[in-house]
Amino acid sequence: MPLPERQLIAQIRRAAGNRGSSIVRTGIGDDASVVRLPRGCELLVTTDFTLEGIHFRREWHPAESAGHRCLARGLSDIAAMGGEPVAAFLSLALPADLPQGWVDGFFRGLLRLARRFKVPLAGGDIASSSSGILADIVVLGSVPAGRAVLRSGARPGDAIYVTGMLGGSVATLNMLRSGVRIDPRHQPGHFLPTPRIAAGRYLRQHRLASAMIDLSDGLSTDLAHLCEESGVGAMILAGALPRDPADPLDYALHGGEDYELLFTAPASRRIPARIAGVPVTRIGQIIRGRKMWLQTPEGRQPFTPSGWEHFGR
């Protein structure tokens, strides 16, 4: 079972460190944290649940992967705004029969990613749970005032781009569902995804992206969110999608948890083929109207959101 609350918090505090942070003046140990924002910046705030049985399964995902993925979800949201992560806060509810070794592994994975991106774990909460492991990550970020990249800036004629590869995470998930045991080191895109902080920063700094969103729920669903906020439609070229040709097309169209960036840019802007070492692919165009279309060798067809949706029917 987990350590008593006070001992567990003390252990987390030691592991998180955070001494000498120029951003977090006061972190774990007080009723609230004191965070200093860089001058001339606005605050970004995002929160995401990681729920056992929904976002991970203990029999499939090592504890280190669960912790890594928990923080990666929040960092990916900050990347999609072109922001810099500032601090993270974790509320964690644990079953009484959960081994302390699993808790230790969870924090190893989370804090390893936090150190990689220099994000202090500045606070949170610990509670008991009667229904599995529940984790809520809050990530604060900063962005120069007025420069956050929103979902609402796409305009007809803009080109549509994605970073990285699509569909790999759901391909791994389907292998797990079929009973295949997978070494996380062999499928890092699913078990240890990399938030595209550097790519988002580059797009914001160079004023290239007119709108942006991270791909957590699947291309079809997340593109629909962007189109809705911008009041536009989209045409996607199926043959342009960066994916493993051995996988079904639907994996790239609707599979979630790739944590890549989907962004639009005026056609006149020259977009590098790689940004921060990550491939960038043009996959379509923003069009007038509110409909999304998929261009395939068989012709044009409606492109309906079919990715992940809580409470979906």
Residue 150: C-alpha distances to residues 67, 96, 186, 222 (Å): 28, 41, 34, 13
Q: Please give the share of the chain, as a percent, with pLDDT higher than 70.
A: 95
Lowest mean pLDDT among 27-41, 126-140, 149-163, 281-295: 27-41
pLDDT > 90? residue 26: no
DSSP string, 37-83: PPTTEEEEEEEEEEEBTTTB-TTTS-HHHHHHHHHHHHHHHHHHTT-
* Residues ≥6 apart with Cβ < 8 Å to 74: 46, 47, 48, 88, 137, 138, 139
Q: What is the pLDDT of residue 308?
A: 52
Q: What is the pLDDT of residue 144?
A: 97
pLDDT digits (tens, 9 = 90+) for 96-123: 999 999 999 999 999 999 999 999 999 9
311 pLDDT tier (thresholds 50, 70, 90)? very low
pLDDT digits (tens, 9 = 90+) for 195-252: 999 999 999 999 999 999 999 999 999 999 999 999 999 999 999 999 999 999 999 9
Domains parsed from the chain with CATH numbers = 5-144 (3.30.1330.10), 151-302 (3.90.650.10)
Question: Left, alpha or beta for 276 (phi > 0: left; psi -120 to 50: alpha)?
Answer: left
Count CB atoms within 10 A of the CB of residue 304.
13
pLDDT > 70? residue 40: yes
Q: What is the pLDDT of residue 24?
A: 76
**Rounded mean pLDDT of the chain?**
92
pLDDT digits (tens, 9 = 90+) for 230-242: 999 999 999 999 9
**Contact yes or no for 72/195 (Cβ under 8 A):** yes
pLDDT > 70? residue 18: no
pTM recorded for the entire structure: 0.92
pLDDT > 50? residue 312: no
